[in-house]
Structure 1
Amino acid sequence: MRQLLVLGAGTAGTMIANRMRRLLDPHQWQVTVVDRDDDHHYQPGYLFVPFAMMSPHDVVRSRHAQLHDGVRFVTGEVDLVDHAHDAVVLTDGTRLPYDQLVIASGTTPRPDQTPGTTGPLWRDKVHEFYTLEGAVALREALEHFTHGRLVVHVTEMPIKCPVAPLEFTLLAEAMFRGRGQRDRVEIVYATPLPGAFTKPVASARLGHLLEDRKILVETDFMLESIDNERQCLVSYDEREVPFDLLVTVPLNMGADFVARSGLGDELNYVPVDRGTLLATGHDNIFAVGDAGDIPTSKAGSVAHYSVDVFVDNFLDHVEGRPLTHHFDGHANCFVESGDGKALLIDFNYDVEPLPGKFPIPVLGPMTLLEETRANHAGKTAFSWVYWNLLLPGRLPMPTDMSMAGKHVPTPMNHTEPGTTFPEKEQLP
């Protein structure tokens, strides 16, 4: 019996296990998934918990309940991958042999990596929403915050869902405005990027939203430490950003076992071929989802599209055929902007987010890079799609990004907030 071993029962790992269980001969292959507990978290829901838009109970379900019959689920902590002997060693000493290994262990916030983050103000005036515990604590903090300086801060890229800090900022602004407290709350967005987002066109449009809502933006801010006594962020170039309430996005890192196994880079992400997702220097190890070092967003949509490519490649790979399918870095993300509206961005390795319609040219119903209620409805409805269609592998979508229905604004290199772009004719 050949062994396909998947490390991680999050989005990518669950999708892979379910897809491969259906496609591989059960008399020839055993599909096994390993994770440290049985709690599968719908991580996009973390954003909504601080604003009481989603209950913590709606975010968590059983991991094994999301796996198809025939998939073996092992609860345990991975110690290391003994890739010299094709085995994974758990912390209790259990050895799990594999013929093919998929690392889908994701990425996690590491507040311990930045001095002062977990100091005396942690979970008091310094918060995060990239864990369920943090999102719940932040909800209580926001309930009692009626005036002062709110700072939303990103430590360093890459992070899970790079638009989430912007979404939090815009939702917070709308919340304070709805309470009649907006004139008593100053909001600052501090980012290591030169603008609101990593891509010029989207950065200009998102920056315009921040400007319109009178949200101050501190760009190119590389955090050195958090000073708990003086309640301020301190950058490496000695700039300071004071706060009364800080919502920080800590450094994100891959799993520690990746480093112990000699498989990771400096942030514990597995170097892979960005097209095939095969780990560099290994012919039977793949890294999918947030665990790999591909140069695109660490987001659920990337996991979805990349898993589709992985499945086709894996079936060829185990039969000794060349890997001919290539992931193009396709990602799309809803961006909540408050007041029951959201934007939508769609992009890949080579093409930045552009205006247009999605997924059907002209018809939509989603509009790219514009605030609409339809986009917000798509965002809020996605939790049902996630549990019932995405994880089971029943959400057929074209893997490669399409240019159909998109417009190319000019000039492409203009990044000033508030700029409007004349648009060329629609691409076919």
Structure 2
Amino acid sequence: MRRLLVLGAGTAGTMVVNKLRHRLARTDWQITVVEPSDTHYYQPGYLFLPFGMYRAEQVVKPTPPLIADGVELIRGEVDRVTAVDNRVLLSDGRSLPYDYLVIATGVTPRPDQTPGMLDGGQWRRSIFDFYTYNGALALAKALDAFEGGRLVVHITDMPIKCPVAPLEFIFLADAYLRQRGMRDRVELVYATPLPGAFTKPVASARLGSMLDDRKITVEPDFLVERVDGTTLVSYDEREIPFDLLVTVPLNMGADYVARSGLGNELNLVPVDRHTMLARAYDNIFALGDANDIPTSKAGSVAHFSVDVFADNFVEYAAGKPMTGSFDGHANCFVESGDGKALLIDFNYDTEPLPGSYPVPFAGPFRLLDEAAVNHWGKLAFRWMYWNVLLPGRPIPLPAHMSMAGKHTPKSEE
């Protein structure tokens, strides 16, 4: 009996075990997933909680029913991986052997990594996050009680989960404040370590113009050194005072990755960016947010990369070369407020471009263009996530990015 051990039952881990359970013979393979939580969270929904667009119960489900029959689910915390012995040690002393290991424990916000963010007395008073379930719920109360002043949306450093989410938040905040009739009493500031609104030129120009149109001040190249009371202070000593700070703390992989000697300085596992095979070991893979591939840490990346990985793993376990090659494909809906959103679609080599998706010219989704259909697409994805994506059912979208339906703006040609 060969043993596949998966660490983490988030998006990537759940998809992996559900897909492979149907691909690997039960008489030959034992599949086990380790997960510390009894609850699975729909993380894209966190964005909507502070604005009352989702109810809390819409973004949570119990973990066990989401795991396919024939997969062993172990509740536990990972203490470390002893890769030389092909074992995972849990914090309660249990030892789990494996033939193949998949690390899918993602990343988490680490406000403790920024001096003054947690220990300055302002956490969940004037400083909030929305990248956690409890943080998003606490922020909902803070926004409801907010009477005006300077609201700052801030990114500590890249990479982060869903890099467009902070932009979405400030667009939604602008619309929310207008709907409450108090936009003129609020100064909105977007502080980012990037030189512009996004990492790629065409999308950055489009999103930057949207910030300008909404009279949102951008503080680019802002690398925070500390939080001093109710002021952000950068390494170059720029200061941004705030009345309400919505921050995206440093995102880091699980601490056990560092204890196991498997990660980089952010506890991300270095892998081959096309196969997700760890560079240091030939029987360890890292999927979803847990690896260091140079693309967005987004649910779509987990989806597309797991599609490629599942086929590759079947080949690899049979002693054959892996023929699939993940191209870094990502697509993200970008909520822009007032019932509209954009869509961006890109990969390792191609930046987000205008056009239509997934069908050339027909769409129905519009790339880099605000449209109601994109907003409804984002809302509809929640149903797709629970009922199609997590169970490992096929979605009729190619894992690899296509240039069909896209065009390069004339200024960029």
Q: What TM-score, normalized by structure 1, do the two folds share?
A: 0.95
1:125 aligns with 2:89: no
Show the counterpart of 2:20. 20
Q: Please state if 1:45 is matched with 2:41.
A: no
Deviation, 1:58, is: 1.1
1:205 to 2:209 alignment:
no
CA deviation profile, 1:306-353 (whole Å, cap 9, x unmatched): 001111110111111112211000000000000000000000000000
Q: In 2, distance between residues paired with 1:112 and 1:410?
A: 45
Q: State the match for 1:417 in structure 2.
A: none
State the SS of the aligned residue for 1:411. helix
Q: Match for 2:355: what amino acid?
A: G
User: Residue 164 of structure 2 aligns with which residue?
Assistant: 163
1:103 paired residue number: 103
Map of 2:76 onto structure 1: 76
What letter is aligned with 1:89? L
What is the CA-CA distance between 1:289 and the residue it aligns to?
A: 0.5
In the alignment, structure 1 residue 399 sits paired with structure 2 residue 399? yes
Q: Deviations over 1:83-141 (max 9, x none)?
A: 11101000011001001100000000000000011121100100000000000000000
Give the drift of 1:18: 0.2
SS at 2:22 equivalent:
helix
Distance 1:63 1:160 in 2: 21
Q: CA deviation at 1:401?
A: 0.1
Specify the alignment match of 1:378 in structure 2. 377
Aligned residue number for residue 302 of structure 1? 301
The 5-angstrom pairing of residues 17-416 of structure 1 reads: 17-118=17-118, 119-228=120-229, 231-394=230-393, 395-412=395-412
Task: Please provide the CA RMSD for this pair.
Answer: 0.7
Deviations 1:231-268 (A, max 9, x none): 11000000000101000000000000000000000000
Q: Which amino acid aligns with 2:110?
A: R
CA shift at 1:39, angstroms? 0.8
The SS at the match of 1:387 is helix
Kindly state the Cα deviation for residue 63 of structure 1 after the two structures are TM-superposed.
1.2
Question: C-alpha distance in 1, partners of 2:279/2:63?
Answer: 29
**Deviation of the 1:62 alpha carbon:** 1.1
The answer on whether the counterparts of 2:342 and 2:369 sit within 8 Å (CA) in structure 1 is: yes
Distance 2:208 2:142 in 1: 26
Deviation track 1:135-192 (CA, whole Å, cap 9, x = no partner) reads 0000000001121000000000000000000000000000101111011100000000
Aligned counterparts of 1:355 and 1:279: Cα–Cα separation in 2:
35
* Structure 1 SS opposite 2:277: coil
Structure 2 residue identity aligned to 1:205:
R
Counterparts of 2:109 and 2:280, CA distance in 1: 28
Identity %: 66
Letter of the 2:18 partner, please give it.
N
Provide the secondary structure at the position in 2 that maps to 1:23: coil
Cα distance in 2 for partners of 1:411, 1:307 equals 36
Structure 1 gap ranges (5+): 413-423
Q: For 2:302, give the aligned amino acid.
A: A
Q: Quick one: distance in 2 between partners of 1:165 and 1:82?
A: 37
**How far does the alpha carbon of each residue in 1:71-90 deviate from its partner, in whole angstroms, 9 at most, with x for none?**
11000000000111101000
Read off the aligned partner of 1:127 and give its amino acid letter. Answer: F
Q: In the TM superposition, what is the alpha-carbon distance from 1:64 to its structure 2 partner? A: 1.4
Partner-residue secondary structure (3-state), 1:49: helix
Q: Which amino acid aligns with 1:313?
A: N
Distance in 2 of aligned mates of 1:276 and 1:295: 13
The 8 Å contact of residues 358 and 397 in structure 2, kept in 1 or not, is answered as: no
Deviations 1:188-247 (A, max 9, x none): 00000000001110000000110000000000000000111xx11000000000101000
Secondary structure (helix, strand or coil) at the match of 1:149 reads strand
Q: Give the Cα separation in 2 of the matches to 1:222 and 1:37.
A: 33
Q: What is aligned with 1:416?
A: none
Q: Quick one: which amino acid aligns to residue 233 of structure 1?
A: L
**Residue 281 (structure 1) shift:** 1.8
**1:4 aligned onto 2:4:** yes
State the Cα deviation string for residues 278-316 of structure 1 (Å, max 9, x = none). Answer: 000211000010000000000000000000111111011
1:160 maps to amino acid: K
What is the total number of aligned residue pairs between the two structures? 411
Per the alignment, in what secondary structure is the counterpart of residue 84 of structure 2? coil
SS at match of 2:85: coil
Distance between the aligned counterparts of 1:175 and 1:294, measured in 2? 35
Q: Where does structure 1 differ by over 3 angstroms across 4 or more consecutive aligned residues?
A: none
Distance across 1 between alignment mates of 2:54 and 2:41: 13
